[in-house]
Structure 1
């Protein structure tokens, strides 16, 4: 098969975005099938160049402005298959706008894109653009909803019930999603054009090969004892850190000895310290703040168990979870949503308990007190992830789906 050049629209590191990291991890495997042009907002700045993987000369990075200029001088560039990495935040505004002008293969990381549409329209003072999207999605009912919002009649809960994704799906030349949760919620008529490609694990897990938990704890300034629970990523209410703290408060009252390390950037809109104080865990919990990727992996190796919960969910697959599983860290997840799609012998699943999460507390206690269970669970997790979720699997699936849905440019 001849080499097939590709164009990929996506943010790139050092943007603090899981999708930026996802794309960077994928690039070497994608480049094995042909040259790749990545379009981001800032272009190949020194900061971007410093974090790019080695792609053997098959990669170039263009800013959006450079891509637009190159499209005039290189007609073949616009004709190459285009891939758009779409997420539900402001980092993807330029991706969204480019896709609308020249559709291609849509990689939808989140089912719900309402926050993205707000960033494209309302945040920029474009109330008419917001109205137009709602009308395109829902007809006259969408137009009415937009007009009511402009008049001040609106609830934040509407964002969860109005995913605002169909106008993109209808334009797409094929769709890739990371889980069945999203796939099964797509319009029936569009599901045949959608492929489930599980979120891959980062090849950078190899950077901690041979590192012992004791060595990792020493590097991160953590005590050699006791048991260490871990949560990863930007701290938001949907990650249910508050439920984890309630459950761990129960373990403290039972006399269990542990540490809980939350590795992630604080959220000004969510007072995590108040929740820590509420459960008397000031001396038991550490919040590190934002940590670079290399530190992430060392914290995973240092830990005994991962707490990775999500409610409500908009269909996102957790990149931090798949990284931890690839390194054999036992994990506790909710028994619904994308995380529940892992086999039952790969993760421990707990029900959603909006009041007192007693099942979560019991499960964490079981993990803490049963070393054999942790070892067996971690071994199965690493084996499963490495067998099914490599960047090579992702790249092969991308190119196969591109071949199934050829792109034509007017």
Structure 2
């Protein structure tokens, strides 16, 4: 099977880029894959040596030459990295990997952000009917918040993408339900996010990482990873750190990543709370340093609110390293077993966090038990080999389904031509046959559920 693969890749500073590197290196022995990127040079030498890499603008000519069985599109919520991929997924439908079931920010940046207000209104109407159009026009007239900034994220903008897709991969049942609510007939596969590294001994890895970093063994290390923004609940974590009087002399908190919103003054928060010298903001970190901090940490935070329906790659790195992790009790995070991480109710998290941290630090066996369950979960469900196999198996399933559809269309057209239909009507006949297939797919779930 030959795949055309569209995704952000290094040097882009994107979690999906890191994810794709890991996945591609595992998939390369299972399928022939060409990579397509939007106007930059891929920097990862492993990819350069293992794959043919083209600019996305070259796809039409490569398609004619190489005859790909299926296109694979990785979609996130950042228009800087995904706009060209999104447009290609609409014009050349294929298998969509939906890392984020919201993507309103990306679509709004593509349309409203480029002065295309009426196109934005039309997109809101396509997704949400008359209500969507009304909300969009009210916003354009200066009434209320921008739709993509409203509490509860009520306006996900994935319908057009889902309607065009040949199939969809998601990472959680939560995301699968969202996709099915938009188009019941589309094939959807849940492929759990992989853990690239799964260790055998969390404690040994922790002390080895601290030695490399020059951090004393008795230091209590908290850490949060990825973009630093309000929805990572950094304010609440900082408040919790302030409450930990019994640990105050030994605690350090690493924020590993870049501040993603210019107006978010996290350094001022640290200063105002008197936490200077305890909180370290690293900025963008290379993967070796990133993983060393993660390995060295006693407790990690992976909180989200507002929640955009995403599955966190960092969470799966933490599980694979046997970390004790706090997550928000929301959306897809609720699907993880309660014994392998700690779920925190959304809103005023600092008090709950402080109490739970005190409990963990005074009960080392509890920390060890959670760590062991995290590793067991990662080993059973999140290996890179399983993820790569599931991707290729589902892509092959979609390919075989498309071949059956094409065969049915051609056979229907031949039969009608044999029965005396004029060849000038071939396009009409193909459209009729395609609609018959669509109706069959739409009917199948109802029959299976009866």
TM over 0.5: yes
Aligned residue in 2 for 1:311: 305
Matched, 1:48 2:43: yes
Structure 2 unmatched ranges of 5 or more: 407-429, 431-450
Deviates more, 1:191-200 or 1:101-110: 191-200
Q: Does 1:177 align with 2:167?
A: no
Which of 142, 145, 150 aligns to 2:140? It is: 150
Checking the alignment, whether the CA contact within 8 Å between 1:18 and 1:319 is kept in structure 2 is: yes
Match of 2:71 in 1: 82
Looking at structure 2, the residues matched to 388 and 98 of structure 1 have their Cα atoms a distance apart, in angstroms, of: 32
- Contact persistence 1:24–1:53 (CA under 8 A): no
Shift of 1:336: 2.2
CA-CA distance at 1:261 after TM superposition: 1.3
- Sort the Cα spacing of 1:8 and 1:356 in 2 relative to 1 into closer, same or farther, 3 A: closer
**Which has the higher Rg, Structure 1 or Structure 2?**
2
1:5 corresponds to 2:6: no
C-alpha change, 1:356 and 1:298, in structure 2 (3 Å) is closer
Q: Is the Cα–Cα contact under 8 Å of residues 28 and 53 in structure 1 kept in the other structure?
A: no
8 Å CA contact 1:13, 1:51 repeated in 2: no
Partner residue of 2:155? 162
Q: Distance in 2 between matches of 1:31 and 1:254?
A: 48
Q: Distance in 2 between matches of 1:260 and 1:20?
A: 26
| SS of structure 1 residue aligned to 2:178 | coil
1:338-377 alignment runs, 5 A limit: 338-352=332-346, 354-355=347-348, 357-377=350-370
SS at match of 1:16: coil
Pick closer, same or farther for the CA change 1:322–1:53 going to 2, 3 Å. Answer: farther
- Compared with structure 1, are the counterparts of its residues 256 and 341 closer, same or farther at alpha carbon in structure 2 (3 Å cutoff)? farther
1:118 to 82, 103, 108: 108
For 2:370 and 2:76, the matched residues in 1 are separated by 31
Separation in structure 2 between the aligned mates of residue 324 and residue 209 of structure 1, nearest angstrom? 10
In terms of mean alpha carbon deviation, does 209-218 or 354-363 score higher?
209-218
Q: Which has the higher helix share?
A: 2
**TM-score relative to the length of structure 1:** 0.89
When residues 374 and 400 of structure 1 are mapped into structure 2, their CA distance, relative to the original with a 3 A threshold, is same
- Name the CA shift for 1:254/1:34 in 2 (closer, same or farther; >3 Å): closer
CA deviations 1:88-116 (Å, max 9, x no partner) are 11110011000110111111111101011
- For residue 360 of structure 1, report the CA deviation from its aligned partner: 1.4
340-349 vs 234-243, greater mean Cα deviation: 340-349
- Tell me the residue number matched to 1:101: 91
Deviation of 1:231 after TM superposition, in Å, equals 1.0
1:71 is the counterpart of 2:63: yes
Give the deviation of 1:211 after TM superposition.
6.7
Distance change >3 Å, CA 314–CA 226, structure 1 → 2: same
The offset of 1:51, in angstroms, is 5.6
Match of 1:60 in 2: 52
Aligned residue pairs, count: 396
- Shift of the alpha carbon at 1:400? 2.5
Following the alignment from structure 1 to structure 2, what is the Cα–Cα distance between the partners of residues 387 and 222?
32
1:330 aligned to 324, 327, 332, which one?
324
Cα shift at 1:216? 1.7
Moved more, 273-282 or 16-25: 273-282
CA distance in 1, matches of 2:182, 2:43: 39
Contact 2:221/2:254, CA 8 A, preserved across alignment: yes
Indicate the residue corresponding to 2:191 in structure 1. Answer: 197
Q: Measure the CA separation in 1 of the matches of 2:230 and 2:286.
A: 22
Measured against aligned partners, the alpha-carbon deviations of 1:201-244 in whole angstroms (never above 9, x if no partner) come to 125x67x9997433322433434432111111110111001111
After superposition, the CA RMSD in angstroms is 2.5
Counterpart Cα distance in 2 of 1:184 and 1:377 = 29
Equivalent-residue separation in structure 2 for 1:189 and 1:89 (angstroms): 22
Q: Unpaired segments of 5 or more residues in structure 1?
A: none
Separation of aligned partners in 2, 1:335 and 1:209: 25
Alpha-carbon deviation of 1:50? 2.8
TM-score by length of 2: 0.81
| Residue in 2 that maps onto 1:294 | 288
